[in-house]
Structure 1
Amino acid sequence: MRLMPLLIAIAALPATAFAAESKPEIDRAPAAPQAVGAAHTLRTIPEACARLEGVFTGVAADPYQFAVVRTSPTCQPRARFVDAAKVKPSGAGGWVLNDLIRVPNAGCASQLAVVQVWRKPGQADPPKLDAQGRARIYLDDSKRAKSADPLSAVTVFSAAMAVEGKPCN
């Protein structure tokens, strides 16, 4: 009957703990506390030519804002970054929790911004060799595959943000 207290403890965990129940691919300590109004880089994803940038606003209704910023206008991305609200990444559907970034608010010790970075590996395999030993790509086949799932060929990243803790004055 030692199992019952454990089940009760798990049921009492907040919903955000279930989102982070799987271990992220990148293991990182919480970031340094950030001041209100100071923009800071959360993470750079070079293959998507993107940088995650955040800022504590000091506004109780919207305490933290983050955005995906292009790193360079000449960068050629090998991966895509998509909106988490549209694709709804989770452990299902091929999505993998890639990174969990925790940023404390320097002006409010009880407030913490949590950014989850999700990755969906692409299927960009080289074509199989035909009977003549050549790799051939047929236009109709590639169009059909792309229309079925436009994001399947390249790796896709997405990020979701939540603020944990009590709001400050």
Structure 2
Amino acid sequence: MTFKPWFFGAVLLCSASAFAADQAPELQRAVGAPQAVGAVHTLRQIPEACARLEGVFTGQAAEPYRFNVARSSPNCQPRARFVDYLQAQPDIAKGWKLNDVIRVPNAGCPAQQAVVRVWRLPADNQPPQLDGQGQARIYLEEARKQAASGKVPQVSTYTAQMQLEGKACS
């Protein structure tokens, strides 16, 4: 799944930025290390969604930064979903939380940085109760009955938005 920053409408970016400005992210982090043009770098791992956010400064005027979501491992079993930003349209009023803001400067152009905002929609489910051995277990037959009755537990949902900030260098 590749996110293209020029597809996002100005209104959508402004409204998302306005929401993000009002809310502090759940995770606090310093500005990342400057990245060279052409160097693919991991922005963040989201283990519960089996996702890795990657980016690269391209050096091209049409697409100065490429951002995509990669599967972290083919054997990973996701416990959360990662959806496209335009599909999700995160809104604080709908329960979305600004989870993380990742800033990555361009090593060749210090006035420019990529900013990735990660949003999380938490699920309202409880972990399974502990059994006599202190383990949280899900039994196949119980899970099948639960699914047949339509009571499938919801999972958390993640999405991310990327935008460039600062001046482009020539």
Match of 2:37 in 1: 36
CA deviation map 1:52-79 (0-9, x unaligned)? 0000011112111111110110010100
CA shift for structure 1 position 141: 3.7
Match of 1:49 in 2: 50
Superposition misfits of 4+ residues, deviation over 3 angstroms: 14-17, 135-138
Match of 1:123 in 2: 124
> In 2 relative to 1, CA 19–60 (structure 1 residues): closer, same or farther, beyond 3 Å?
farther
Match of 2:20 in 1: 20
User: Over aligned residues, Cα RMSD in angstroms?
Assistant: 2.3
Aligned sequence identity (%)? 57
Match of 1:70 in 2: 71
Size of the aligned set, in residue pairs, is: 141
Can you give the 5+ residue segments of structure 2 that lack an aligned partner in the other structure?
Answer: 1-12, 129-141
CA shift for structure 1 position 167: 1.2
TM-score in terms of structure 1 length: 0.76
Can you give the 5+ residue segments of structure 1 that lack an aligned partner in the other structure?
Answer: 1-13, 128-134, 147-151
Aligned partner of 1:18: which letter? A
CA shift for structure 1 position 126: 6.8
State which structure, 1 or 2, has the greater radius of gyration over its C-alpha atoms.
1
1:44 counterpart SS class? strand
Match of 1:99 in 2: 100
Native 8 Å contact 1:49 1:75 kept in 2: yes
Equivalent positions of 1:139-150 (< 5 A) are 139-142=148-151
